[in-house]
Structure 1
Amino acid sequence: MRFILKSAFWLVAAFLVIRPGVDLPAAAGSVTAQAMAAGQSAIVAQIEKTECTTLECVGGKALLSAAVKSTAQPQAVAPMQISSTVETAPVPRPRPAWLG
């Protein structure tokens, strides 16, 4: 009986993790985007919280805020399996005519 309960539990857990109709790369990408956005907003909030009295400090804050906002955008990269290697793959030499 215990074996059947443990098996049923793990089957249900596996079904919840790998259920039909779920695009795991897209879900992972959305979680990554949310984490990056939360980190970006936390960093910008800490930069904006700093009190400045000089022009150098104000310029530095603006520069840091712009740098964080521009570098936090994720770049879309094609996976290795999808990327084409047609241009970089070596092409074999043609077969000699005397071989037929």
Structure 2
Amino acid sequence: MRFILKSAFWLTVAFMVIRPGVDLPAAAGAVTSQALAAGQSAIVQQIDKTECNTLQCVGGKALLSAAVTSAALPAPAPVTPMQISTTEATAPVPRPRPAWLG
């Protein structure tokens, strides 16, 4: 009985996490962009908290702040679907059958 209850619980949790109609790559991308934005704002806030007395320090803060906010992720490489990609170069070619085998 305990096994059935545990199984039902985990199946319910799995269905709630991966339910029909959810685009997982888009959801993961949205979470990633939110995390990056939060990290960038935290870094910029820490840079802005630094007290500066010299022009060089102020310029360095400005440069760091601009670099952090303008940094972007590289574009992902295009992926060729398996159905379209060719296997000629990667698949081994079998040796010809010996004549004495018929």
For Structure 1 versus Structure 2, the TM-score category normalised by the shorter chain is: 0.7 to 0.9
Partner in structure 1 of residue 10 of structure 2: 10
TM-score of the two chains, using structure 1 as the length reference: 0.73
Once residues 51 and 85 of structure 1 are traced to their aligned partners in structure 2, the CA distance between those partners, rounded to angstroms, is 56
Letter of the 1:74 counterpart: L
Q: How does 1:1-100 map to 2 (within 5 A)?
A: 1-71=1-71, 73-78=72-77, 80-81=79-80
Once residues 80 and 10 of structure 2 are traced to their aligned partners in structure 1, the CA distance between those partners, rounded to angstroms, is 31
Once residues 40 and 9 of structure 1 are traced to their aligned partners in structure 2, the CA distance between those partners, rounded to angstroms, is 38
The alignment's C-alpha RMSD in Å is 2.4
Q: Which runs of 4+ in 1 moved over 6 A?
A: none
* Residue segments in structure 1 that go unaligned for 5+ positions in a row: 91-100
User: Could you say which structure has the greater relative contact order, defined with CA pairs below 8 angstroms and 6 or more residues apart?
Assistant: 1
* TM-superposed deviation, 1:81: 4.0
The verdict on how the C-alpha distance between 1:46 and 1:20 changes in structure 2, with shifts beyond 3 A counting, is: same
* TM-superposed deviation, 1:79: 5.1
Count matched residues.
Answer: 86
Once residues 23 and 42 of structure 1 are traced to their aligned partners in structure 2, the CA distance between those partners, rounded to angstroms, is 29
* Residue segments in structure 2 that go unaligned for 5+ positions in a row: 90-102
How far does the alpha carbon of each residue in 1:31-90 deviate from its partner, in whole angstroms, 9 at most, with x for none? 11111011100110011111111111111111111111111x3344255345x979xxx8
Letter of the 2:61 counterpart: K
1:47 touches 1:65 (CA, 8 Å); kept in 2?
Answer: yes
1:40 touches 1:69 (CA, 8 Å); kept in 2?
Answer: yes
1:33 touches 1:74 (CA, 8 Å); kept in 2?
Answer: no
